[in-house]
Structure formats: C-alpha cells, structure tokens
Amino acid sequence: MMKAAMIRTILHYPDKRLREKGLLVSEITPAIQALADDMAETMYAAPGVGLAATQIGEAVQLFVIDVALDDEPSELRVFINPEILECHDQIVWSEGCLSFPGVNEEVERAAKVKVRAKDREGRSFVLEAEGLLAVAIQHEYDHLQGVLMIDHLGPLKKRLVSRKMQKRADADAGP
C-alpha cells in the first residue's frame, strides 16, 4: 500500500539550508519517488508553480514544476539530476519564491532553455521550454546550486529584500 504524500515545511530565507547544493541522486528509489510526491503536494498547497528539494531541507538534485493555470489539467513535471544544456535570448520576469513569501521581484533570465533530467520513474528526457516554464526551470535549478532569487537582484534591492525577510524571521522566532 502506498503512503499518502504529505505536506512538508518550506524553508524561508535567511535559513542557511537554502544555500546547500543538492547532491546527485544516484538511483531512483521509492524514497526518492515519495519525496517527489511530497514536494508536489507541498507545492500545490503553498500554492506555487515550482519547488526544489533544498527548499524543504532535502539536499538532493530534484525539483517539481507545474505551470498549468487553475482551470487547466495538471502538468506536473519531476526533474531529477537536471542539467541546463542551452539558454537563448533574455526575458525579464516578475518572480516570486515560496522561500521568500510576499516578495516579487523583476529577474532577468533566459527566455528559452533546453534541459535534460530524469523523471519520477528514472527515465531520461530532454525538454525545450520557453516563457514561464523556462523561467521556473532556471529558478528551481538555481535552488539546487544554492543560488537564490535574491542573488539576481542589484545591491539595493538585495539589501531591502534581505532586511524584510530577516524581520519576518525574527518575528516568527518570537521573543
């Protein structure tokens, strides 16, 4: 009997675990598949369009994305050991991040990407993406390298967002 996916706690900046680089997944085990299921459940509950394993304190090369609109069928994609093979053109996108609640900032990214990864079953695939899917892939891939949305901002914006998140962390910690 399969265990039901559970909602995990999403780490918020400035949690140091967000800077950990994810380790390669050596084999697709039931535990890795269960982690992918938990991540999808967590992402949908948040709600968000993507979630990296490092955002829930699991330092492995795994992220999930679903950019389908609310009234469209799910397009859940699981990326294990992803590699970005190509990037083309530039786009500026207003990005949010589940690890930076309430923050949306303009980030410059590649408009189109080509990525290779394994799916939930361990099958290799190559995907060419553009628009929101391309941005989400780059955003989540960054997480697996310990790179955060804030790292793409200029010094002033970076300081403002960092201060805002630190205040939130201090308030959450309580007296």
Tell me if residue 140 is catalytic: yes
User: Which CATH number do you get for residue 52?
Assistant: 3.90.45.10
Amino acid identity, position 59:
A
- Average pLDDT of the segment spanning 65-74: 91
Q: Which of 20, 58, 105, 140 is catalytic?
A: 140
Please give the share of the chain, as a percent, with pLDDT higher than 90: 92
Asked, for residue 85, whether it belongs to a domain, the answer is yes
- 168 in a structural domain: yes
Q: Establish if 99 belongs to a structural domain.
A: yes
Q: How far apart are alpha carbons 69 and 7 in whole angstroms?
A: 21
When pLDDT is cut at 50, 70 and 90, the band that residue 95 belongs to is very high
pLDDT band of residue 2 (cuts 50, 70, 90) is low
Answer yes or no: is 1 within a domain. Answer: no
Q: Write out the residue range of the structural domain in which residue 110 sits.
A: 16-173
Tokens 């469209």 sit on residue: 72
Determine, yes or no, domain membership for 75.
yes
pLDDT at 139: 98
In a domain, 6, yes or no: no
**DSSP string for residues in 142-166:** HHHTT--GGGGS-HHHHHHHHHHHH
Whole-angstrom CA distances from 56 to 11, 70, 114, 118, 138 are: 6, 24, 26, 20, 18
Copy the structure tokens of residue 58.
């699991």
Query: Which of 115, 61, 67 lies closest to 88, judged by CA?
Result: 115
Number of domains observed in the structure of the chain: 1
Work out the pLDDT band at 30, boundaries 50, 70, 90.
Answer: very high
> H-type helices in the chain, by residue range?
30-45, 131-144, 155-173
Nearest to 1 by CA among 29, 34, 28: 34
Let me know if residue 139 belongs to a domain. yes
pLDDT of res. 69: 86
Residue at 118 is within a domain: yes
